[in-house]
Amino acid sequence: MIDFLQKAKSINNEIVSWRRDFHSNPELGFEEYRTSKIIKEFLKSEGIEFKEVSKTGVCAVIRGNGNKTIALRADMDALPLKENSTKEYASKIEGRMHACGHDGHTAVLMGAAKILNSIKSELKGNVKLIFEPAEETVGGARFMIEEGVLDNPEVDGVIGLHVDEKINTGFIGLKSDVVNAASNPFTIKIKGRGGHGAHPDSTIDPIVISSNVILALQTIISREIPPTDPAVITVGSIHGGTAQNIIPEEVTISGIIRTMKTEHRTYVKKRLVEVTEGIVSSMRGKCEINIEESYPCLYNDDNMLKIVSSAAESIIGKENILSLKNPSMGVESFAYFSLKKPAAFYYLGCANEEKGIVNPAHGSLFDIDEDCLSIGAAIQSKVAYDFLNQI
């Protein structure tokens, strides 16, 4: 019986060192050149074959004895945020910060790679290591899939994780079915006829039209989507006008749709267009609507989730596996993998109140309890081993 947790703890200093190095030198999406270089140098030192994918991404393969293949994925990019930490490993790059834990994800995958490579003769199949760029922006996963990371050898299942500052170190969170929302950013340009603020009757006021549109869009969610199913339309910006006494020619509204079901995603996009065009037309204006196709819903496969749960139970104990009731309205580019292959995505606890590790992700003080790293590497390794070696 292989003690994966002990193996992970034996290389804990390396894993922590990788994480701190990445944290000190954060890079944004498709700019992860230094991060990618360190990963490739590590893979070379381990004798693991790899290829460069999607500009700064890396895909490696540990070949065992069999045709079955599991993929383990980690994202690499940081956020455009100034870090306010005084830790010795705080960001050295002004305006750049690993505020979402991707430095930890990358270090965990490198740790799992080292463990699995050391026992590759015992693996009844292959392990793909996917280091994804640009998760925070355009979703590097979709580009990697287009370039064939799930082929040669063909992947049979994919596993991903994300650190979670709301879960204590030593615990993980599992959610069945839908884990993360789908998103559709949108822009609405409303055109009227400008003029003097003293003579609104001679104008077609796009600000008034926009106000009606913004209010009406909220009724799509509150009156047309079942209240038991989460969905959100957020208008994040509205721009128009230059002075208090001038009615402008044009107003631009931008926002985002978030839905948990594919059918709701289709419906809300359709209704956003119908409602907007109806109101604008009735108020004598014109509009241009652009709805982007962004991240899809992330679905967990039941069988893959069982493998993760069983593996985690052997590492941290059944009592430390949390069953999450609600999905997240946030998006996650791992969803692209979950649409293509049976997949499981789980949350790795990284909070520690005694150490002051309590600050939220995407905030300037975010940090992780580094004791979670060896746990993550152990679980990932055990999941891969069980997936390939199950009868």
CATH number of the domain enclosing 61:
3.40.630.10
Tell me, yes or no, whether 316 and 368 share the same domain.
yes
Domain end, chosen from 233, 268, 291, is at 291
Q: How confident is the model at residue 236 (pLDDT cuts 50, 70, 90)?
A: very high
Look up the pTM and report it.
Answer: 0.92
Residue 365's pLDDT is 98
Q: What's the mean per-residue pLDDT of the chain? A: 97
DSSP H/E element including 246: strand 246-247
Residues 136 and 14 in one domain: yes
* Residues 204, 305 within the same domain: no
pLDDT at 119: 98
Distance of CA 323 to the CA centre of its chain: 20
Considering the chain, what percentage of its residues have pLDDT values greater than 90?
99
**DSSP structure class, residue 373:** H
Say yes or no: 363 and 320 in one domain: yes
- Report pLDDT for 92: 98
> Is residue 324 packed enough to be buried (19+ CB in 10 Å), middle (13-18) or exposed (0-12)?
middle
Q: Report the alpha-carbon distance of residue 318 to residue 161 in Å, rounded.
A: 18
Task: Report the domain count for the chain.
Answer: 2
**pLDDT, tens digit, for every residue of 16-27?**
999 999 999 999
Amino acid 81 reads L
Asked if pLDDT for residue 251 goes beyond 80, the answer is yes
Verify that 82 and 219 share a domain, yes or no.
no
Tokens representing 148 are 């064939």
Residue 85, phi then psi, degrees to nearest 5: -80, 155
- pLDDT value of residue 317: 98
CB 206 within 8 A of CB 249: yes
Same domain, 85 and 151: yes
The yes-or-no verdict on residue 74 having pLDDT over 90 is yes
Per the CB < 8 A criterion, the answer to whether 105 and 163 are in contact is: yes
Q: Residue 195: which residues within 8 A CB-CB, separation 6 or more? A: 202, 203, 246, 247
Same domain, 46 and 164: yes
Residue 137 reports pLDDT greater than 60:
yes
Confidence category of residue 1, pLDDT binned at 50, 70, 90: confident
**Are residues 174 and 187 both part of a single domain?**
no
For residue 2, the Cα-to-chain-centroid distance in whole angstroms is: 31
Residues 372 and 382 in one domain: yes
- End-of-domain residue from the set 271, 291, 311: 291
- For helices 102-118 and 12-24, the axis angle rounded to 10 degrees is 150
Question: Residue 207 in contact with residue 240, Cβ under 8 Å?
Answer: yes
Beta bridge partners of 349: 164
CA 315 to chain CA mean position, Å: 25
Is 80 exceeded by the pLDDT of residue 391? no
**CB of 66 closer than 8 Å to CB of 126:** yes
Beta-carbon contacts of residue 23 (< 8 Å; ≥ 6 apart) = 89, 90, 91, 98, 103
SS (H, E, C) 188-245: EEEECECEECCCHHHCECHHHHHHHHHHHHHHHHHHHCCCCCCEEEEEEEEECCCCCC
Q: Is the pLDDT of residue 45 over 70?
A: yes
pLDDT digits (tens, 9 = 90+) for 271-282: 999 999 999 999
Domain containing 137 equals 4-180+297-389
Contact 251, 288 (CB under 8 A): no
Q: Is 237 exposed, middle or buried (0-12, 13-18, 19+ CB in 10 A)?
A: exposed
* Angle at which helices 12-24 and 371-389 cross, to 10°: 110
* pLDDT interval class at 210 (50, 70, 90): very high
The whole-number pLDDT of residue 390 equals 87
As a whole number of angstroms, the distance between CA 232 and CA 218 comes to 8
Tell me: do 302 and 241 sit in the same domain.
no
What does the pLDDT average to over 157-167? 98
Please indicate, yes or no, whether residues 323 and 249 belong to a single structural domain of this protein: no
Same domain, 228 and 320: no
Provide mean pLDDT across the span 341-358: 98
**Is pLDDT of 65 > 80?**
yes
Q: What distances in angstroms separate CA 319 from CA 57, 170, 282, 324, one per listed residue?
A: 36, 10, 59, 14
The domain that holds 196 is classified in CATH as 3.30.70.360
At which of 245, 266, 291 does a domain end? 291
